Amino acid sequence: MKKRWMITGCILLIYLTIGSGPTIAQENIHLGISQMITLAISNNLNFKKAGYQLENVELDAKQLAAENLLTESGMAAMQKEISLLQQQDNYRRQKDQLIIQVVDDYFKLMMSEKDIARKEKNTELERIVLEEVEAQVAAGYSVDLDLLQQGNSYYDALFSYEKTKLNHQQLSMEVKNTLGIDYNQEVVLSKMQIPEFPEIDITESLNQARENNLSLKGKDIETELARMRLEKAKVDQAPELDIVKLENNFGIAQLERSLFEQDLDYQVLTQWQNYSQSKNDITLSQQSLKQMEENESIINRQVQVGLRSEDEALSATIGVLDAEYRLISSVRQYYQSYLELQRMMGIMDEGEIK
């Protein structure tokens, strides 16, 4: 059995050696949500590219508007306006998605750090239990099978802990790439703040989403363009078959516009419900954390007077870390649902996100 544990220990040593690699002196950079958003908007290359593309389309639109256009070219101007709206929508969507991703990265990093902390404590707990089982086997109170099982539990916990640290390193590299931060810099996250819960009226949400949605505006122009083509064909006395096709195209444009608005309303309603539920989840997570902290405090006092053991105190600490992890997850879901709703309403403002 000792031989098996020695082999397992050697495997773990190799695993740690490969995972750790060379270390480089690192400079700390302290970041909160707003700082991460600012860095991403300033440094993200894909977003910069979208900005240049939008500027080119806007320049084309201005050039076309400056020309002396007749009725035929007026339709071309409307088509150019549709292209401009599409590019504006693409730019806004990329910006909003970048902001949502960066905010989510903040919470993913925080959850990862908390996961490392709780798995470290769990490894320590499994080690204490292993030592207790070893003592019991030596005294004849337990059998070798118990020792083998606990040894496996300890090494499983240790492997899980080390794997979590490696996953955190990978996540950190991905976030630094998004923010344009040097890989040698160590990110130190600011303390998480529990957000306020603004009341959002569902009717107002639907109205703003319809009013600000650039794709829906494009559908309106496409519908009007289809109507103008139909009217022009009638004035020009085009063949009957051509007029029927243009009538069908006009009907299709109207239906596509209605279907798009219908789908937009459904998405806004669903996201509004997610937002409302996320507020309740935070409240429940806060209550759970408070109970775990009170339980930990009671057990620690009992440990001081010899009524509880060290492993029971560790279990209580793990309970607190688990509750903290759930709270971070709840706040993360809140931000995701809130920002997605803001994106759909077309009112996301990075300066107000803290």
* Cβ(22)–Cβ(88) below 8 Å: no
SS3 content of the chain, % helix, strand, coil (to 5): 85, 5, 15
Nearest to 197 by CA among 334, 32, 102, 105: 334
Q: Give the pLDDT score at 212.
A: 96
For the segment 38-55, the average pLDDT, to the nearest whole number, is 88
What pLDDT, on the 0 to 100 scale, is given for residue 190? 93
Q: Please tell me the predicted confidence (pLDDT) of residue 21.
A: 46
Q: What is the largest CA-CA distance in the chain?
A: 106
pLDDT tier at 354, thresholds 50, 70, 90: confident
Query: Which candidate, 353, 347, 343, 267, places its Cα nearest to that of 96?
Result: 343
- pLDDT of the residue at 79: 83
pLDDT tens string 4-35: 454 455 545 545 444 444 444 457 899 999 99
pLDDT digits (tens, 9 = 90+) for 213-246: 999 999 999 999 999 999 999 999 999 999 999 9
pLDDT digits (tens, 9 = 90+) for 162-197: 999 999 999 999 999 999 889 888 899 999 988 888
pLDDT at 23: 45
Range 90-100 average pLDDT: 93
pLDDT value for 188? 93
**pTM of the complete model:** 0.85
| Greater pLDDT, 146 or 222 | 222
Q: State mean pLDDT over 324-335.
A: 96
Q: Which positions ≥6 away from 342 have C-beta within 8 Å? A: 348, 349
Query: How much of the chain, in percent, has pLDDT values that exceed 70?
Result: 90
